[in-house]
Amino acid sequence: MKLNLKRPLAFFDLEATGTNIGADRIVEISVIKLNPDGSEDVKTWRVHPEMPIPLESSLIHGIYDEDIKDERTFKQLAPEVAEFIAASDLAGFNSNKFDIPMLMEEFLRAGVIFDLENRHFVDVQNIFHQMEQRTLKAAYKFYCGNDIINAHSAEADTRATMEVLLAQIEKYENVEWEDKKGNKSIPVTNEVEALHKFTNLNKPVDFAGRMVYNEQGEELINFGKHKGKKVEDVFAVEPSYYSWMMQGDFPLYTKRKLEEIYNRFTAKKNAERLAARPAQPKPAETVAPKEFKKPDFQKSNNPHHENRPYKKPEEPAKPVNDDMLQQLALKFKKS
C-alpha cells in the first residue's frame, strides 16, 4: 500500500542512554524518509552521548560504550540530521512523548534551529493504543503477522513502525471510532493530516505533555497541584511558578514554550496597566520671569566711573562770613 503524501514523511526511532528527556542523550538515530513518489531514503547514525551508557539501557538496545567511543557527538551530527528531515513531517512509535521531545532537546543543546511549526506528527503508538491497546512487538504481530527481527535496534524498530502504519491504514480504512464524548468518526485514513489529528488528541503544547491545549486553544498545566488550570491563571496567582519551572528539571522545549506563554502574559498585563492608568493633566503654562535690569545711572566720561563706589556729589563751598570767623576763634581759644 502506498501512503498518500504531499511531502516526505520521516519515520524515525531513537535509542538513548535512558528515558529522561532533560538528562539523557541519544546513542543511535535511524530515519526512513518516505517520499511522495513512494521512494525511500534511509539513514542511521550512531552517536557519542558524551556520558556513560547505563548497563540497563545497553541490555535493551545492545549499544555499549565501546560501540560508540569513536562516533561523532550529536552536536557534530545535528546539521546533517536537520537537513535530512528538514522538509518532512515526522512519524514514530511513541514519538510524540519521547522521540520528538528528545530530538528537539538535542537540537537545542547543539544550537541548531529545527522548527516544528507547520509540521504534522503521526504517532503510530497512539493509533494502536486507541484502537487496540498493545506494544510495538504486539502491534507488528497483530497487524503484520510476523515477529520483529532484531527488535530494539533502531532500524528494525523504525521499519516495523512504518509497516504497522501501512497495515493500520488498510485495516481501519472504514472503521468507525467513538471518542469519550460519544462523537463518532472514521479517523484512520490515508491522509497524514487526519492521522496527525487522531494521534494528537491530547493536544500537547510541548510534546512532553507538561502543558496541553483545551478546547478553546488555551494552555493548561497538565501535572502537579495546578493540573487542569490555565497557565496564565497560574502565573497570576503564583508568579514564582514560572521561575520554578524554568529552573527545574524540565525539557528545554517545555521551557521554551513556557517562556513564550509568560512573555505573552506579561505583555498583556503591561497593556492592561497602561490602559487603566488615568490620563495625565497637561502642564500649566509657565510665565517667564522678567529680566532684572540694573538702574540706569547717568554715565560719566570717566572710563573708570563704573568701577567706583557711589558717592554723593559735594556741595559748592560757602563764602567766609563773620560767624565762621567767630567759631574758629572760639575753637582755638579752647585748645
Q: What CA–CA distances, in Å, run from 281 to 1, 58, 276? A: 74, 73, 15
Q: Return d(Cα 259, Cα 270) in angstroms, integer.
A: 16
179-195 confidence digits (pLDDT tens): 877 889 999 999 999 99
The bridge status of strand 219-221 relative to strand 211-213 is antiparallel
Query: pLDDT digits over 133-182, tens only?
Result: 678 888 899 899 999 888 888 999 999 999 999 999 999 999 999 887 78
Contact 250, 241 (CB under 8 A): no
Residue 318 has pLDDT above 60, yes or no: yes
DSSP 192: H
Task: State the burial class of residue 247 (Cβ atoms within 10 Å of its Cβ: 0-12, 13-18, 19+).
Answer: exposed
**76 vs 68: CA distance, rounded Å:** 14
Q: What per-residue confidence (pLDDT) applies to 295?
A: 59
Report the pLDDT value the prediction gives residue 278, as an integer from 0 to 100.
Answer: 79
Q: pTM for this one? A: 0.63
In percent, the amount of the chain with pLDDT more than 90 equals: 64
Least confident of 24-38, 72-86, 115-129: 115-129
pLDDT of residue 188: 95
Q: Quick one: average pLDDT of 1-14?
A: 94
Closest CA to 96 of 189, 184, 208: 208
User: Are 36 and 4 spatial neighbours (Cβ–Cβ below 8 Å)?
Assistant: no
Average pLDDT estimate for 252-268: 95
